[in-house]
Amino acid sequence: MDKEKLSRMSADPAVQAMIPKAKEEGVETIWDRLEKQQPTCGFGDLGVCCRNCMQGPCRIDPFKQGAQRGVCGADADTIVARNLIRAIAGGTAAHSGHAKHLAHILYKSAKGELKDYPVKDVDKLNAVASRLGVDLEGKSVQEIALEVGRLALEEFSEKDGPNLWAATNVTQGRVDTYLKLGVVPGGIDSAISDIMHRTHYGCDADPINLMLAGVKCALADFAGCHMGTDLSDILFGTPQPVVSEANMGVLKEKAVNIALHGHNPALSDIIVQVSREMQEEAKAAGAEKGINLVGICCTGNEVLMRHGVPSATHSISQEMAVLTGVLDAIVVDYQCILPSLANLQECYHTRLITTMPNTKISGAEHMEISEENAKDCAKDIIRAGIEAYGKRNPNKISIPEEKSEVVAGFSTEAIIGALKAVDSEDPLKPLIDNIVNGNIQGVCLFAGCNNARVPQDFNFVTVAKELAKNNVLILATGCGAGSLARHGLMTSQATLDYAGDGLKAVLTAVGEAAGLKGPLPLILHMGSCVDNSRAVDVAVAVANKLGVDLDKLPVVASAPEATAEKAISIGTWSVAGGLPTHVGVIPPVMGSALVVDVLTDKIKGLLGGYFIVETDPYKAAEKLLEAIKERRKGLGL
């Protein structure tokens, strides 16, 4: 396969090494399937196809030659807005489903029903409880955990008053703005079901009203993300800086390789814990190097952040890890798992193990986790991997050498901890001083997935390098963080190689003060998709200290290769949080000039944030830098 074609699929050399192997072995990949989908449906691309009732599907002619209304009379603006907010509801359901799962675990654990899930971070529990208004005085850890678990579960259903997680984790200025617009969510599930109701046949047909409901639901998504982060930290520990590696070179020929894939640490963290006790079992089965756990997607991020488990790959290249021929099992929870992994089992010995009742895949084996006996379930799953080790086909083994060092674990607490090494009394001061003096021009949060329509990682790496050169401090989460890690941008060396002089000076001063013997990494890995909430915490702390609202800060966000509905909900709450937010793929909204105008312009007057849609990564970087400059100007900097 020629080099140019390969680079149109992925910029990751490890993935480029695997794609020809797939061809040789007759294995279909995500890029083959993308090709077979061409040309994609223009109506779908523009968002003007409606399937909300059985009189349809109805399609609006974007060239104004044919139908301008669906059978019921809905026009393009209504259809596009309805489709958009249904996607937000989908993203919110996924993030908050993840949080709800953890809330049940915390609650049951506090009642003494789950022995394998003790509270690991009491400080975080107390901090979250205090923020929620729980009186800690005289209460045991268990009592506080019970109250936090109960409050968390209450935040899902219909309730009077604002959602606690949405309202207590932003500035007062944001809350006031949301109240004025009527977009403060109550129960998270209520916000989702409201979208499903109002987009049902014959309900809301006002595109602005629909989009405001979308903003409200996106803020419920923020609540779910923040809750997911909080409860994970309470149950599994708040991440601290950790050194590890990323890319397929982390797979080991002489070890039982088990990939942890999906999103939730509820099972994967337990697997990490018990794998330590099972090394001898793997060695007895012939694997000299024991068990080698690796991560894929956000479950991978969770165990990387807390335990330094290396990441094998992310998002659209998950099939490639199987193609190495040494991946013995992929253990999945939920979200972002390609069903095609099951088909790969026909050609490879890799066992695909589903573990959650809401994510079964035809052809995979299902080993459902019982939280009452989580450790025993985790052991059974690891044993399945050990068993598969003996079934490898030696002729199919080929592990790409590529791997990069990665320094991860930058929770908000870890960042504040590093800044404390510079100023123990006032940790935010060095950050703010350097923003004011221009050493740091602004901050960008990279988030979201890879997308098979974009050469994998190319947009992430290009935009990040352009911003770093211009002294923008970069934070990253999700598969975006994975992408930047695989390309070696989460190291001290990357800071020396790519940071502008001002940024380099700051990262070096903080890194050395924190005892790292060198600069902080060029890009700070903040965790999984739900952990975008960590970046909000940092921004809110800075805004509160400066006495301004979030929409005044020189802070931007970018999802240059967005894919999932979750990326749409996160992008929307990022805009609602006041941030200029870049999307590097064209979302399915272009069929409505009105919706596009609201998202990219009018919404700025309401919320301060707005979407920047730009597929060219160089132009995207310019636009983000422009937005940062405008914010600095607004602050008189």
Contact with ligand MSK (CB under 6 A) among 82, 392, 566, 623:
566
Residue 131: both structure tokens together: 């923020």
Which does residue 190 bind out of ligand SF4, ligand MSK, none, counting CB within 5 to 8 angstroms by kind?
A: none
CB of 511 to ligand SF4, least distance (A): 55
Site membership for ligand SF4, residue 55 (CB under 6 A): yes
Query: Binds 491, which of ligand MSK, ligand SF4, none (CB < 5 to 8 A, cut-off by type)?
Result: none
Which range in 138-146, 224-232, 366-374, 564-572 contacts ligand MSK by CB under 6 A? 564-572
Spell out the residues 6+ positions from residue 262 whose beta carbon is closer than 8 angstroms to its own.
268, 297, 298, 299, 332, 333, 334, 335, 336, 337, 356, 359
With binding defined as CB under 6 A, does residue 330 bind ligand MSK?
Answer: no
User: Which entry of ligand SF4, ligand MSK, none binds 479, CB below 5 to 8 A by partner kind?
Assistant: ligand MSK
Q: Which of 478, 511, 519, 588 binds ligand MSK (CB under 6 A)?
A: 478
The distance of closest approach from Cβ of residue 315 to ligand MSK in the complex, given in angstroms and rounded to an integer, is: 4
The 3-state DSSP class for residue 69 equals: strand
Nearest distance, CB of residue 220 and ligand SF4, angstroms = 24
Whether the ω angle into residue 587 lies within 30 degrees of 0, i.e. cis, is: no
Nearer to ligand MSK, 334 or 610 (CB): 334
The one of ligand MSK, ligand SF4, none whose footprint includes residue 381, by CB under 5 to 8 A per kind, is: none
* Partner interacting with residue 297 (select from ligand MSK, ligand SF4, none; CB below 5-8 Å by kind): ligand MSK
Helix (H), strand (E) at residue 107: helix 76-110
Taking the CA atoms of the chain, what radius of gyration do you get in angstroms? Answer: 24
| 508 Cα distance to chain centroid | 28
Which of 235, 251, 336, 464 is the binder for ligand MSK (CB under 6 A)? 336
Please report how the helices 565-576 and 207-236 are oriented relative to each other, as an axis angle in degrees rounded to 10: 100
The CA distances from residue 210 to 89, 400, 590, 593, in Å, are: 12, 48, 16, 15
Alpha-carbon distance of 586 to 601, in angstroms, equals 16
Task: Name which of ligand SF4, ligand MSK, none residue 55 binds, using a CB cut-off of 5 to 8 Å depending on partner kind.
Answer: ligand SF4
Q: Residue 70: which of ligand SF4, ligand MSK, none does it interact with, CB under 5 to 8 A by kind? A: ligand SF4
| Residue 97 in contact with ligand MSK, rule: CB under 6 A | no
50 binds ligand SF4, rule: CB under 6 A: yes
Interaction residues for ligand MSK, span 346-375 (CB under 6 A) = none
Q: Which of residues 172-231 bind ligand SF4 (CB under 6 A)?
A: 201
3-state secondary structure string across 182-208: CCCCCCHHHHHHHHHHHCCCCCCCCHH
Contact 479, 295 (CB under 8 A): no
Question: Contacts with ligand SF4: how many residues (CB under 6 A)?
Answer: 13
The DSSP call for residue 602 is: I
DSSP, residue by residue, 315-370: GGGHHHHHHTS-EEEEEE-SSS--THHHHHTTTS-PEEEE-BTTB--TTSEE----
The residues, any chain, with a CB within 8 Å of residue 394's CB and separated by 6 or more, are none
Q: Residue 621 — φ and ψ, nearest 5°?
A: -60, -40
x/- site string to ligand MSK, residues 106 to 145, per CB under 6 A? ----------------------------------------
CB of 63 to ligand SF4, least distance (A): 18
Q: Does 585 bind ligand MSK (CB under 6 A)?
A: no
Using the rule CB under 6 A, is 470 a contact of ligand SF4?
no
Letters for 287-306 (x = contact with ligand MSK by CB under 6 A, - = none) are ----------xx--------
The SS3 assignment for 422 reads: coil
Closer of 419 and 530 to ligand MSK (Cβ):
530
CB of 568 to ligand SF4, least distance (A): 20
**Which 3 state secondary structure label does DSSP give 227?**
helix
Binding to ligand MSK by residue 218, rule CB under 6 A? Answer: no
Q: Closer CB to ligand SF4, residue 79 or residue 479? A: 79
CB closer to ligand MSK, 59 vs 534 = 534
Applying CB under 6 A, which part among 55-63, 122-130, 156-164, 429-437 lies near ligand SF4?
Answer: 55-63
Contact 610, 603 (CB under 8 A): yes
Task: Give min distance, CB of 44 to ligand SF4, in A.
Answer: 14
Amino acid at the residue 88: I
Say whether residue 52 binds ligand SF4 (CB under 6 A): yes
Query: Which residue spans within 409-522 are E strands per DSSP?
Result: 442-446, 472-477
Taking each helix axis as running N to C, give the angle between helix 478-486 and helix 458-469, from 0 to 180 degrees, rounded to the nearest 10: 80
The partner in contact with residue 16, picked from ligand SF4, ligand MSK, none with C-beta cut-offs of 5 to 8 angstroms by kind, is none
Among the candidate windows 48-56, 99-107, 217-225, 415-423, which touches ligand SF4 by CB under 6 A? 48-56
Tokens found for residue 543: 């805004």
Axis-axis angle for helices 76-110, 188-198 (nearest 10):
150
Segment 492 to 551, residues that bind ligand MSK, using CB under 6 A: 528-529
Spell out the SS3 assignment of 274-312: HHHHHHHHHHHCCCCCCEEEEEEHHHHHHHHHHHCCCEE
Query: Minimum distance from CB of 138 to ligand MSK (Å)?
Result: 40
How far apart (Å, rounded) are the C-alpha atoms in residues 224 and 226? 5
**Residue 545 binding result from ligand MSK, ligand SF4, none, given CB thresholds of 5 to 8 Å by partner type:** none
One of 225, 338, 564, 607 touching ligand MSK (CB under 6 A): 564
- Interface of this chain with ligand SF4, residues 73 to 92, rule: CB under 6 A: 74
Toward ligand SF4, which CB reaches closer, 115 or 197?
A: 197
Q: At what angle do helices 428-436 and 412-420 cross, to 10 degrees?
A: 80
Closer to ligand SF4 by CB, 74 or 418: give it: 74
Q: What part of residues 220-279 is at the interface with ligand MSK (CB under 6 A)? A: 263
449 near ligand MSK, rule: CB under 6 A? yes
Q: Which is nearer to ligand MSK, 275 or 528 (CB)?
A: 528
Q: What is the dihedral of CA 266, 268, 274, 278, to 10 degrees?
A: 160
Distance between CA atoms of residues 329 and 255, nearest Å: 12
Q: Which residues share a beta bridge with 556?
A: 444
Q: How many CA atoms lie within 13 A of 4 on its CB side?
A: 0
Q: Which residue ranges make up the site for ligand MSK (CB under 6 A)?
A: 263, 297-298, 315, 335-336, 448-449, 478-479, 528-529, 563-564, 566-567
Rule CB under 6 A: which residues touch ligand SF4?
50-53, 55-58, 70-72, 74, 201
